[in-house]
Structure 1
Amino acid sequence: MTQPAPASSPERPAVRLRGITKSFGDNLVVEPLDLEIGRNEFFSILGPSGCGKTTLMRMITGFEAPTAGSIELDGAVVDRVPTRQRDLNMLFQSYALFPHLTVYENVAFELRVRRTPKAELDRRVREALELVRLGDFAKRKPAELSGGQRQRVALARAVVGRPAVVLLDEPLGALDQKLRKEMQFELKRLQREVGITFIYVTHDQEEALTMSDRIAVMNRGRVLQVASPTEIYDAPASRFVASFIGSCNLFDAAVVDGSARQVVVPGLGPVPAVAPERTSAGPVVLAVRPERVSLSATEIPGGIEGLVTERVFLGDEWIYRVRTAIDGPVLSARVPSGDLTTALAGVPDGGPVWISWPDAAGLVLPADAEGEGA
């Protein structure tokens, strides 16, 4: 898959992959791809476990050699350049801090190896610690820090040498959910302030959507789509992308008339949708996000009647599951708890509701498996 860098990026990207592929024996784990990552971009590689995202990252760092293709950093081919000589740094889930060193010495370690002059070393270490809001923790040991503080120390160490690129491999995986959410905003803030290209590898869609300028979605060794978070979510290129990014109602459907703003779904009949231009009549997939499905306790013109099979309270919202016919498909709908009307709240399990969604909420996707990965 070929994907150019954003139009706003400089002519020479921070990272350029040309025809990169990786095989282990007869097992092709990364299919041929071209990719450009812009300077100062927060770029995420997102996909399920085993999709090839970590292998792709390891080829950029130099830990793995590509089977074919080339890798450029700042315009220079680095295929045969050792990892230590590439202008990049890495941050891992384990943090890999030295337990016997203070926070200050952990951050200063790389600069000492480079024989950075003492005054400059001290200035840069203190700047890095202030950047991650740990200026008062310089004399502490890692064992005296919380998980989030240790993660910030590792991040300060990754950026103190001012590399062109920082690669982050699931760095928030060891944190609890609340701290992970806080650190997502911290990472994005820091990346903007230091002006370094971040390449973030994750299987967590929320992390990618929250922090990224662009996202590459991978599955089974293939990059299926590269786009901004809003485009990935609102205009997925395939059934896999639609299902992997957020929750989504997906139905086998058929376009009867390519110019019509509707498709036919077994068990639902004709429903509103927007098909891409020049869509041919035939089988397709209809995707509708649950938050764009409206429910009503009273019949509405053009609505689809269904029965409530389940509802779950999540605090800020309710998740409704509605069966549309005896053997028809089941839809999910998200209803903000503050918007839940008395009439809808009074519908019992098994009670009738009517379903609708705006025309633009019905996305028509290809029916073939091209976008699923080989």
Structure 2
Amino acid sequence: MNTQTQRQGGATLEAGGPGTPAVSLHGITKTFGTNTVVQPLDLSIGENEFFSILGPSGCGKTTLMRMITGFETPTGGVVRLGGQDVTRVPTRNRDLNMLFQSYALFPHLTVFENVAFELRVRKTPKAEAERRATEALELVKLGHLAERKPDMLSGGQRQRVALARAVVSNPKVVLLDEPLGALDQQLRKEMQIELKRMQREVGITFIYVTHDQEEALTMSDRIAVMSEGVVQQIDTPTAIYNQPGTRFVAGFIGSCNLIDVTAPAGAAGDRVSVEVAGVGPVEGVLAADGDRAMPGTLLLRPERLALTRDGSGIPARLETMTFLGEEWHYTLRAGESVWKVSVSSLDAERELAGVAEGAELRLSWRPEDARIVTR
């Protein structure tokens, strides 16, 4: 997607691509009594985009989704769908559908009847309703089960039926609130791939609400990471992972070493030296502009660290080592900090064979892989 971004309040905000965004929020906020659960926020979500709202329980992501659907009225700001102000428009009159973890299928109706139900409520001509319901079932690869009842289906199949029902009326937006939460881990992984495929095929904007980092990284075009009512960062999955803008984002998305340092003044992308307690000066790059020194954090992904028996790098003592099949996880003590390192099993066999806990090793990284953010 060709877009332009800007920084505001710690979040990267989308200025929008060509045409009218599917969803746009302007100064949106929500307060319950004296508790502000969603801080003022501007956001645009593009046509046909798979957009995830990611964060821990209580961060405000579900409240944000409910304001888009109309289940909650914003305390301030404007909600637009396709350019139309729907801030005070009832949910039933918004061109969107929702998919929840419970699926909410009618047990007395067949799979086909469940999918076609909304079309019949809307008084869609019978022939068209049957055609669209059939196409929706083929999309989710359940056409052969059209005459079964929901209680005759597996959890994954019921989830597919619910998705077919959500897209059959071709809404502008489908909102999905942790719909894979009831599935086992292997089925969740399979459905992540299927959801992305289906979203691409139907060409509908999906807004996916989840606390699961893997789901968001696997499926999304962009991700908004929330914490305590604030959108910390909005970006692509690769940028969110490789270029986290805050300490929270780095710690919440995957595993990350978070080392306290003083962030010097400078411009974003500058290569600088910072002091690590008990280690000395190390190099990294500034994540954002700063006009003065500030308390900061050195961010380093475990797989970006190199671990060797000797040579260059900072001295570190191996404290624990854990075998996880395709990789080894090591924790080491260097100076006053504990460092996490991930090494592929093949590299560990080549470079670290016979290494035991208590060994003195060397820890190093490329400066461009170490990001320095302010706290």
TM-score by length of 1: 0.93
CA-CA distance at 1:338 after TM superposition: 2.0
What is the SS of the residue equivalent to 1:115? coil
The whole-number CA distance in structure 2 between the counterparts of 1:99 and 1:174 is: 18
The whole-number CA distance in structure 1 between the counterparts of 2:319 and 2:250 is: 24
Counterpart residue number, 2:306: 294
Deviations 1:267-304 (A, max 9, x none): 2211121125754445321000000011112x112x11
Counterpart residue number, 2:4: none
2:321 matches 1:322: no
Deviations 1:289-329 (A, max 9, x none): 000011112x112x11111111111111111001114xx21
Identity of aligned residues (%): 63
Counterpart residue number, 2:316: 306
Closer/same/farther in 2, CA of residues 226 and 347 from structure 1, 3 Å limit? same
Residues 1-374 of structure 1 correspond to what in structure 2 (within 5 A)?
1=9, 4-5=13-14, 9-255=17-263, 258=266, 261-276=272-287, 279=290, 280-297=292-309, 299-301=310-312, 303-325=313-335, 328-367=336-375
The whole-number CA distance in structure 2 between the counterparts of 1:3 and 1:330 is: 31
Q: Counterpart of 1:305 in structure 2: which amino acid?
A: P
Aligned residues: 362
Q: Is the 8 A contact 2:70 2:87 kept in 1?
A: yes
CA-CA distance at 1:349 after TM superposition: 1.0
Closer/same/farther in 2, CA of residues 255 and 112 from structure 1, 3 Å limit? closer
Q: Counterpart of 1:296 in structure 2: which amino acid?
A: T
Q: Is the 8 A contact 2:285 2:372 kept in 1?
A: yes
CA-CA distance at 1:262 after TM superposition: 2.2
Closer/same/farther in 2, CA of residues 276 and 175 from structure 1, 3 Å limit? closer
CA-CA distance at 1:334 after TM superposition: 0.5
The whole-number CA distance in structure 1 between the counterparts of 2:369 and 2:199 is: 33
Q: Is the 8 A contact 1:42 1:214 kept in 2?
A: yes
Q: Is the 8 A contact 1:53 1:218 kept in 2?
A: yes
TM-score by length of 2: 0.93
What is the SS of the residue equivalent to 2:25? strand
What is the SS of the residue equivalent to 1:94? coil
Q: Is the 8 A contact 1:262 1:273 kept in 2?
A: yes
What is the SS of the residue equivalent to 1:12? coil
CA-CA distance at 1:235 after TM superposition: 1.2
The whole-number CA distance in structure 2 between the counterparts of 1:314 and 1:288 is: 21
Deviations 1:106-129 (A, max 9, x none): 101101101111111111011000
Deviations 1:338-362 (A, max 9, x none): 2213551311111111111111111
Q: Is the 8 A contact 1:306 1:352 kept in 2?
A: yes
CA-CA distance at 1:261 after TM superposition: 3.2
Closer/same/farther in 2, CA of residues 282 and 79 from structure 1, 3 Å limit? closer
Q: Counterpart of 1:231 in structure 2: which amino acid?
A: A
The whole-number CA distance in structure 1 between the counterparts of 2:53 and 2:272 is: 34
The whole-number CA distance in structure 1 between the counterparts of 2:288 and 2:79 is: 36
CA-CA distance at 1:140 after TM superposition: 0.9
Closer/same/farther in 2, CA of residues 15 and 355 from structure 1, 3 Å limit? same
What is the SS of the residue equivalent to 1:208? helix
Closer/same/farther in 2, CA of residues 16 and 3 from structure 1, 3 Å limit? farther
Q: Counterpart of 2:103 in structure 1: which amino acid?
A: Y
The whole-number CA distance in structure 1 between the counterparts of 2:178 and 2:288 is: 39
The whole-number CA distance in structure 1 between the counterparts of 2:212 and 2:65 is: 16
Q: Counterpart of 2:89 in structure 1: which amino acid?
A: V
The whole-number CA distance in structure 2 between the counterparts of 1:254 and 1:41 is: 38
Q: Is the 8 A contact 1:256 1:264 kept in 2?
A: no
